Structure 1
């Protein structure tokens, strides 16, 4: 029986991750700023397992704004104290607004970094402190993005925040490995999700969707990778950024050949 904490669980990739971890007997702590969607998700997860009540996962929810400086630590502390030691932390909360670099101000930059970089780093730190004191192992999976490697117009703050998150992932893995705490990240390619906070136009989606496998990713694709990376099958993996993007990071599609084939 494991205790899994998922931030940003109310929708999109975070919701799919929560569903992937809804195994009989496990304890799920789900955190998000949208309390109503969290409640809806928790009710649905109980039905999803189709198990007798005695074997259904225990699901608790926490409404929190992780952009607040102390919220990430409080989130981990609250979930640990209410449902027991956290075995897996999935930092899926994030935001990807569009802001041109020439129009940046401190408020915009800090807001993006507060949720995308600072929150997962602080949540990881609080989990590490508690796990080390308790002599327990743990696994952390951050949700990064292909934008960490390649920015685009309007994506400067977002891409920068994810690049920083990937380095924070490696730094934490380096320092915490001796304590049995693994820290990795999954980097999704473009995955269409319904989002009121992060709307994407059809034109944008069409432009960023092409990849060698020829289909868009789904939240389930990302959730499956997260579950593997967090689990015992990946027990000797830490400090890694797993690109789950249909091969889009392998190269650029659509360019003509340098030399025409003979």
Structure 2
């Protein structure tokens, strides 16, 4: 039995990740900004098979929050798996950006996962224990979107930090990877999206939007023993949406006879 810490576990992808580990009989610490949905996640996790599920409310915008959260989780039991799922993605036109908006997104989406990894690694190395980290990235790391300059930047930076930390922590037996979801339908009061936006980004080569369970299965696998020789990787779980501009019309005649020079 391992001890798994999941941030952003109050709803959506984070909650489903916690429940996926619970169904495997793992002990949990779940963290989120809001206490009420976090308590709901804990109750569901215990019903799903988790032997224990501690809850911690945390504001990851605070500089000391990652270290404090890891200290709290570790005091229950050494943390074997860290999943950084907490994230914010406000829609802000580029010309409306200010320092507060930029810093809020980068602090939660990039700085907090990095500092959580640092806090885990320090304790794991001191204890002589292996550990596995899975960061939740986004397709926005590869493709910018209107209104998402800080979000795209934060996820691109997170993927770079995933590789950098994997490089330095690998010799200590600590693996660091990321899962990059495509558009996933969730009910989030922190990060709501419009129906128009969902329709525009939710089309994939596999013909459907993603679900939190799609992402959770990938996270559980990547954090487990079957992936023990994988580190520094970004697993894109997006229904094929990152393969290219598949939905564009063909640029040659209907006969298929293109012209060549």
Whether TM-score is above 0.5 comes out as yes
Deviation at 1:24, TM superposition (A): 5.7
**TM-score in terms of structure 2 length:** 0.96
Deviation at 1:192, TM superposition (A): 1.1
**TM-score in terms of structure 1 length:** 0.95
Deviation at 1:259, TM superposition (A): 1.9
Mapping 1:1-262, distance limit 5 Å:
1-23=1-23, 25-49=25-49, 56-81=50-75, 83-260=76-253, 261-262=256-257
Are the counterparts in 1 of residues 182 and 210 from structure 2 also a CA contact under 8 Å? yes
Cα distance between partner residues in 2 of 1:26 and 1:216: 28
Cα distance between partner residues in 2 of 1:73 and 1:234: 27
For each residue in 1:15-52, what CA deviation from the matched residue of structure 2 results, as whole angstroms up to 9, or x when unmatched?
A: 00000000464210000111111111111222223xxx
Structure 2 portions without partners, runs of 5+:
none
Q: Secondary structure at the match of 1:139?
A: strand
Deviation at 1:253, TM superposition (A): 2.5
Deviation at 1:9, TM superposition (A): 0.4
> How many residues are treated as equivalent by the alignment?
255
Cα distance between partner residues in 2 of 1:38 and 1:152: 30
Deviation at 1:214, TM superposition (A): 0.4
Cα distance between partner residues in 2 of 1:2 and 1:48: 16
Report what 1:53 is aligned to: none
Cα distance between partner residues in 2 of 1:24 and 1:253: 37
